Amino acid sequence: MAEQRVSRWYFGGLASSGAACCTHPLDLLKVHLQTQQEVKMRMMGMAMHVIRTDGFLALYNGLSASLCRQMTYSLTRFGIYETAKNYLGNQGPPPFYQKVLLAATGGFTGGFVGTPADMVNVRMQNDMKQPPAQRRNYSHALDGMYRVLREEGLKKLFSGASVASARGALVTVGQLSCYDQTKQLVLATGLLSDNVFTHFLSSFIAGLCATFLCQPLDVLKTRLMNSHGEYQGVTHCAMETAKLGPLAFYKGFVPAAVRLVPQTVLTFVFLEQLRKYFGIKVTT
């Protein structure tokens, strides 16, 4: 009988937090590009503009909110997915459709739980673009969530929750279920073993799938969370965005892929190392 290790339920949150520390500047640039009313700058131009205007450390604005988001959103989605997958996988790997359903459930729940931190993350990243009189100047993630709750109410704290939940379901399907399925197929060929290269290849494909699935909703989510009340809801936001043309829903697609693919790769590389050295031993 062979012995292997499986993830503990909280490993996904830790791995995602580690990845977020590496990719946060890319996430910040993506938010800046998505909230442009007109396409004035590309990714490198926006990066140089941020550095010239506010300094290099401005690329890490909102890092506390990003980490808070990962420890709510990603902790929840990975926890649900890994726990349910381990329960269903006693007789071998579950079929792909079950992985998709588990990922969608975990991602939808995680998206809702992580909405407050996600909204504060978007606001903190985009704050430097606002006129001084309109800047929110949150000290950190918890200060931002407290001030939103006190000044704008509980409803505003969960602004964009429906879009964030749907986006969470799509990106989790793209990341978790596609990663597991790709890794399973690669290992089944016998050409590669369960090593870092296999993890890299599988997570790279999963990152591309996740970007393709979630980009339109990601644009809507960012616009809703950064709004000052100009949108009446998801449908109204979608209609206003559509006026800019169909490609507006894919504004920032390249920086989104540049951010999400490396984050996906780093998350699963970190996750596999946590599983290898600290996972629960099981006999198969």
Residues 6+ apart with CB under 8 A from 172: 77, 81, 103, 104, 106, 107, 110, 210
Read off the pLDDT of each residue in 91-108 and give the average, rounded to a whole number. Answer: 92
pLDDT band at 121 (very low <50, low <70, confident <90, very high): confident
pLDDT value of position 89: 67
The two three-digit tokens of residue 145, written as one number: 């969530």
pLDDT value of position 277: 92
pLDDT value of position 231: 82
Query: Which of the given ranges, 26-30, 73-77, 239-243, has the highest pLDDT on average?
Result: 73-77
Q: Are 237 and 220 within 8 A, CB to CB?
A: yes
pLDDT value of position 37: 61
Nearest to 162 by CA among 211, 237, 108: 108
Per-residue pLDDT at 147 exceeds 80 = yes
pLDDT band at 284 (very low <50, low <70, confident <90, very high): low
Nearest to 144 by CA among 198, 64, 208, 84: 64
- In the chain, where are the structural domains located? 3-283
Average predicted confidence (pLDDT) for the chain: 87
Query: What number does CATH give the domain 3-283?
Result: 1.50.40.10
Classify residue 136 as exposed, middle or buried by CB count within 10 Å of its CB (0-12, 13-18, 19+). Answer: middle
| 281 DSSP 8-state letter | E
pLDDT value of position 217: 80
Q: How far apart are CA 163 and CA 156, in angstroms?
A: 14
pLDDT value of position 2: 60
Read off the pLDDT of each residue in 255-270 and give the average, rounded to a whole number. Answer: 90
Per-residue pLDDT at 222 exceeds 80 = no
User: Where are the extended beta strands (E) located within 8-58?
Assistant: none
Per-residue pLDDT at 198 exceeds 90 = yes
Read off the pLDDT of each residue in 167-182 and give the average, rounded to a whole number. Answer: 95
Which residues make beta-bridge pairs with 282? 4
Segment holding 6, helix H or strand E: strand 3-6
pLDDT value of position 65: 86
Instruction: Find the radius of gyration of the CA atoms of the chain.
Output: 19
Query: Which of the given ranges, 21-35, 90-104, 198-212, has the highest pLDDT on average?
Result: 198-212
Q: How far apart are CA 195 and CA 190, in angstroms?
A: 12
Read off the pLDDT of each residue in 90-108 and give the average, rounded to a whole number. Answer: 91
Per-residue pLDDT at 220 exceeds 90 = no
Q: Which of the two residues, 119 and 110, has the higher pLDDT score?
A: 110
The two three-digit tokens of residue 183, written as one number: 């890794």
Terminal-to-terminal C-alpha distance of the chain: 6
Q: How far apart are CA 164 and CA 141, in angstroms?
A: 18
Query: Which of the given ranges, 160-169, 191-200, 210-219, has the highest pLDDT on average?
Result: 191-200
**pTM, two decimal places:** 0.82
Read off the pLDDT of each residue in 138-163 and give the average, rounded to a whole number. Answer: 89
pLDDT tens track for 13-56? 999 999 999 998 888 887 777 676 665 677 788 888 888 888 88
Instruction: Please give the share of the chain, as a percent, with pLDDT higher than 90.
Output: 45
